[in-house]
Chain A
Amino acid sequence: MKFTWFNLMPWPHLPDDFREKYRSVWVDIPSTLYDPVKGHELYNTYLDELEYAEQLGYDGIGVNEHHANAYGLMPSPNIMAAALARRTSKAALVVLGNSIALYNPPIRVAEEFAMLDVISGGRLLAGFPVGTSMDTNYCYGDIPALTRERYAEAHDLIMRAWREPEPFTFNGRYTKLRYANCWPKPIQSPPPIFIPGGGSLETYDFCLDYDYVYCYLSFSGYKRAKQLMDGYWQRVADRGKDLSPYRAGFAQTIVVAETDAEAERDYREHIDYFYNRCLHVYPGFADAPGYRTIKTLKANVTSQMTRQAVGDVASMSWDQLVNEGYVIAGSPDSVAAQMKELITGLRVGNIFCLIHVGNMPKDKCMRSSKLFAEEVIPQLRDMWPEYRNDDRFWIHPLDSHAGRPAASAVGG
């Protein structure tokens, strides 16, 4: 099993009446709610936590990209990954990822990811999300019905830029480069590639065509993910591919304490903050018309857009969130038991551990992370013994002689 400690980097100072006063945590949230002085402390705390996760032995440390979003303060995940590249030496740098359709020209992603891979000694794990509609369409103005075509072209350009030894001409519909020439090149050829998906057949096939890892990044937990992941594995089987669990990843909110009761006592308010404040997104921003394919839409359309549904700001309770598996919470043993259910039920080899939650302070975050690392992971580590040697989907860093130790200050 591979465990990545992931930080969404939420803004922890949203007011108590946020949902009543503001329609969305994303896209049009006023930046008067942000305070750069508090932000200074916050970014550095979040980076400390990511570095601490490496010390605890997590296989990867993860960052991602969002725009105008108060629960995801990383418009540029590559800046965070660069900071981490210097201060760590073992963990995979899981950048999940760069929304490749939004970089102009997209060869920028090939270049920056190559830089990260080189600085870190081959520890980059590269995510290529399409990007949410909120980010891609509403914040960055990409035309919804053209996003997927632009994405596919950007993917082709980036992979070719990494692969081709000579400058080449790229005559795309959206990007035209007379001299496509990626300097530097990554150490890994190429870095492992993770693709976030939301259940469309097209994305299953895209991952299988290239042997990329399919990742389901939802906040609604493993019990609700079963049907989608079953669909993925059915497709893997139909395509005649091997069923290595390392072909799949899943994000799960996890909080660990000494006992179940302590978990509720210590983490309840932070879970509440995240699920009831951070996820307050105006439905009009959820899904720009044309962003999803019609096939996907027919299978997944929701009717959360009635006047009544929009007006309903009922909270989700701790009991509901825990019982329905949105959140895995409790003592190390109860968390391990639920994690086993998750791992076998969804057949996943990669877990993105969302252990920092909402407005959780550093001490609680470190305690939960430590308990998970020391008392839960050992119970899960070898859950797929028959795939123990399957290293196709993980990083291949330089060996310890060629790689550098983590940076310390000059003279330090």
Chain B
Amino acid sequence: MLSRLIDVAGRHQVRVYEGGSGPQLLYMHGAGGLLANDPFLARLTQHYRVTAPLLPGYEDSDSSAPLRTMLDFTLFGFDVWETLKLDEPMLVGHSMGGMIAAEMAALDNSSVKRLALICPAGLWLDAQPIPDLFAKLPFELPELLFYDPKKHAALLSAGGDFNDPEFLTDFLVGNARRMGTAGKILFPIPDRGLAERMYRIRARTQIIWGAADRLIPPIYAEQFAAGIAGSHVTMIPEAGHMVPYEQTVAVVSSITKLHN
């Protein structure tokens, strides 16, 4: 995929990845950002014209200082949409990106017509608490995020080793920037009131979950389904929170159902 830096609403310079052909799809990434040569996005481009902005605070996008609240993040999504003159794209979001996409769909429920939420954040159940991602050490992340950590851990670090101090130092600086940004809507509890706004969502909605998600347990899929009228849940086996990378084909196939 090609990428370029764009100016968004005169407020942020951010990197956006673009590629593929087909119906328009706007993708909002999770708290970890996009992966190098992101294999999930690559697969999506086989079916869609994909637009995937990096949020402020991620890689070489500007600082996230102007974004503070959930509304700021939600409006950022629409600002990208308008800057690139997208025409009612399908919205897809993973984890934190799913939370942003759901908020966008609730805010402007006449423009967002198709929505795919992949193990989204945004709800909280006292009986099923989501582990504190902000108190995890890098070496603990693979076990939390993957069904098969051995097979996929290297994806998180682009091949680096979290137990190598030198690599870790560089990782921690980038991670502080990414997770510092994510913390504005996820810290200390990833709940900014979406439960009270979900009722507004009118989009055709697919809720896609890794059946072995240890970060946001699959029971949250039921909560989203109960809150979004007419939504459909797809539970994907042998996948954790990083289901787009562990079961790429199955996730893309669930998304394409929104056009069938």
Residues on A close to B: CB < 8 A? 27, 137-138, 141, 143-146, 173, 282-285, 287-292, 294, 297-298, 301, 303, 305-308, 310
CB-based contact A303/B181 at 8 Å: no
Q: Which residues of chain A are within 8 angstroms of B168 by Cβ–Cβ distance? A: 303, 305-306
Report which of A27, A283, A287, A306 forms a contact with B163, defined as CB distance below 8 A.
Answer: A306
CB-based contact B179/A289 at 8 Å: yes
Residue among A138, A146, A291, A305 having the largest count of chain B Cβ atoms under 10 Å: A305
28 inter-chain pairs at a CB distance below 8 angstroms, sorted by A residue, are A27-B135, A137-B134, A137-B187, A141-B187, A141-B188, A141-B189, A143-B183, A143-B184, A143-B187, A145-B64, A145-B181, A146-B68, A173-B68, A282-B135, A283-B137, A284-B135, A284-B137, A288-B183, A289-B134, A289-B177, A289-B183, A290-B180, A290-B184, A294-B177, A297-B173, A298-B173, A303-B172, A305-B138
In the complex, what residue of chain A is closest to B63 when comparing beta carbons? A294
Bound form: Cα–Cα A146–B180 in Å: 9
Q: Which residues of chain B are within 8 angstroms of A288 by Cβ–Cβ distance? A: 134-135, 183, 187
In the complex, what residue of chain B is closest to A145 when comparing beta carbons? B180
CB-based contact B177/A307 at 8 Å: no
Report which of B172, B181, B189 forms a contact with A305, defined as CB distance below 8 A.
Answer: B172
The distance from the CB of B64 to the nearest CB of chain A, in whole angstroms, is 7
CB-based contact B187/A144 at 8 Å: yes
CB-based contact B139/A307 at 8 Å: yes
Q: Which residues of chain A are within 8 angstroms of B163 by Cβ–Cβ distance? A: 306-308
Bound form: Cα–Cα A145–B135 in Å: 15
The distance from the CB of A81 to the nearest CB of chain B, in whole angstroms, is 29
The distance from the CB of B237 to the nearest CB of chain A, in whole angstroms, is 29
Bound form: Cα–Cα A146–B72 in Å: 14
Q: Which residues of chain A are within 8 angstroms of B178 by Cβ–Cβ distance? A: 289
CB-based contact A306/B165 at 8 Å: yes
CB-based contact A290/B176 at 8 Å: yes
Bound form: Cα–Cα A144–B182 in Å: 10
8 A Cβ contacts from B50-84 to A: 64, 68
Q: How many residues of B contact A (CB 8 A)?
A: 30
Bound form: Cα–Cα A209–B120 in Å: 45
B146 in the interface, Cβ–Cβ < 8 Å?
no
The distance from the CB of B29 to the nearest CB of chain A, in whole angstroms, is 16
The distance from the CB of A23 to the nearest CB of chain B, in whole angstroms, is 10
CB-based contact B137/A305 at 8 Å: yes
B95 in the interface, Cβ–Cβ < 8 Å?
no
B136 in the interface, Cβ–Cβ < 8 Å?
yes
B175 in the interface, Cβ–Cβ < 8 Å?
yes
B209 in the interface, Cβ–Cβ < 8 Å?
no
Task: Answer whether A306 and B162 are a contact pair too, CB < 8 Å, given A145-B184, A290-B183.
Answer: yes
B169 in the interface, Cβ–Cβ < 8 Å?
yes
Q: Which 3 A-B pairs have the closest CB atoms?
A: A290-B180, A289-B179, A303-B165
The distance from the CB of A142 to the nearest CB of chain B, in whole angstroms, is 8
CB-based contact A289/B180 at 8 Å: yes
Residue among A137, A282, A289 having the largest count of chain B Cβ atoms under 10 Å: A289
The distance from the CB of A106 to the nearest CB of chain B, in whole angstroms, is 18
Q: Which residues of chain A are within 8 angstroms of B175 by Cβ–Cβ distance? A: 289
Report which of B64, B68, B176 forms a contact with A297, defined as CB distance below 8 A.
Answer: B176
Report which of B136, B162, B165, B180 forms a contact with A144, defined as CB distance below 8 A.
Answer: B180
Bound form: Cα–Cα A170–B189 in Å: 29
The distance from the CB of B2 to the nearest CB of chain A, in whole angstroms, is 28
Q: Which residues of chain A are within 8 angstroms of B138 by Cβ–Cβ distance? A: 305
The distance from the CB of A111 to the nearest CB of chain B, in whole angstroms, is 27
Q: Which residues of chain A are within 8 angstroms of B176 by Cβ–Cβ distance? A: 287, 289-290, 292, 294, 297
Report which of A138, A294, A308 forms a contact with B173, defined as CB distance below 8 A.
Answer: A294
The distance from the CB of B72 to the nearest CB of chain A, in whole angstroms, is 11
Q: Which residues of chain A are within 8 angstroms of B189 by Cβ–Cβ distance? A: 141
Q: Which residues of chain B are within 8 angstroms of A298 by Cβ–Cβ distance? A: 173
Task: Answer whether A310 and B137 are a contact pair too, CB < 8 Å, given A288-B187, A294-B173.
Answer: yes
Bound form: Cα–Cα A303–B179 in Å: 17
The distance from the CB of B70 to the nearest CB of chain A, in whole angstroms, is 12
Q: Which residues of chain A are within 8 angstroms of B135 by Cβ–Cβ distance? A: 27, 138, 282, 284-285, 288
Q: Which residues of chain A are within 8 angstroms of B179 by Cβ–Cβ distance? A: 289-290
The distance from the CB of A149 to the nearest CB of chain B, in whole angstroms, is 8
Q: Which residues of chain A are within 8 angstroms of B162 by Cβ–Cβ distance? A: 306-307
The distance from the CB of B137 to the nearest CB of chain A, in whole angstroms, is 5
Report which of A137, A145, A303, A305 forms a contact with B188, defined as CB distance below 8 A.
Answer: A137
In the complex, what residue of chain B is closest to A141 when comparing beta carbons? B188
Contact with A along B176-213 (1 / 0, CB 8 A): 11111111100111000000000000000000000000
The distance from the CB of A41 to the nearest CB of chain B, in whole angstroms, is 33
In the complex, what residue of chain A is closest to B182 when comparing beta carbons? A289
The distance from the CB of B138 to the nearest CB of chain A, in whole angstroms, is 6
The distance from the CB of B230 to the nearest CB of chain A, in whole angstroms, is 34
Q: Which residues of chain B are within 8 angstroms of A141 by Cβ–Cβ distance? A: 187-189
Residue among B164, B168, B176, B178 having the largest count of chain A Cβ atoms under 10 Å: B176
